[in-house]
Amino acid sequence: MVRQYATFAGGCFWCMVKPFDETPGIESVISGYTGGHVENPTYEQVCAETTGHVEAVQIIFNDELYSYEQLLATYWTLIDPTDAGGQFYDRGQSYTTAIFYHNEEQRELAERSKADLEASGKFDKPIMVKILPASTFYPAEDYHQHYYKKNPMHYERYSIGSGRRAFQEHHWGNKHE
């Protein structure tokens, strides 16, 4: 098994777990915080935007069963890549998008996938997703982990009410939940 890490920021981390979870080759999906300057931040600190962190998911995956390219393809369908101010209902720096690469190959693949999306003409605005080196990832509090399983009704209302699901269906024809 070739165990690797992938880290993606895509707005609210609750909505970033389910599409990756329980996929063959995905060992785990952890909600958390990364990219900032405060050690072991809390949800309240990150939301107050005093830490520099963004909400993100860290995925442990077997590259022989589910490639990094497949992860990137899924990631793009979960976000509005043209929005630099947050994602959907959630606004502010802590909800911005980024691909955090763990090695040079991931950086190159992320850059290529971003360039391919820009060249596709799918969006009429520039792609604003940052591609950054991975830094320390801090798992979020337990109540945030696999939120869609713990609070399915609230998760469903949030996914619809935030506008994320309608955006996905409009632009990608998918129904990631």
Which residues are catalytic, by number?
12
Both structure tokens of 152 = 């399915």
Phi, psi of 6 (to 5 degrees): -135, 140
Q: Are 48 and 146 in contact (CB under 8 A)?
A: no
Paired residues of 4 in beta bridges: 61
d(CA 17, CA 146): 7
**Contact status, residue 131 vs residue 114, Cβ threshold 8 Å:** yes
Buried-exposed string 138-159: b where 16+ CB fall within 10 A, e elsewhere: bebeeebbbbbeeeeeebeebb
The token duo for 133 is 């080196």
The tally of CA atoms less than 13 A away on the side-chain side of residue 85 is: 3
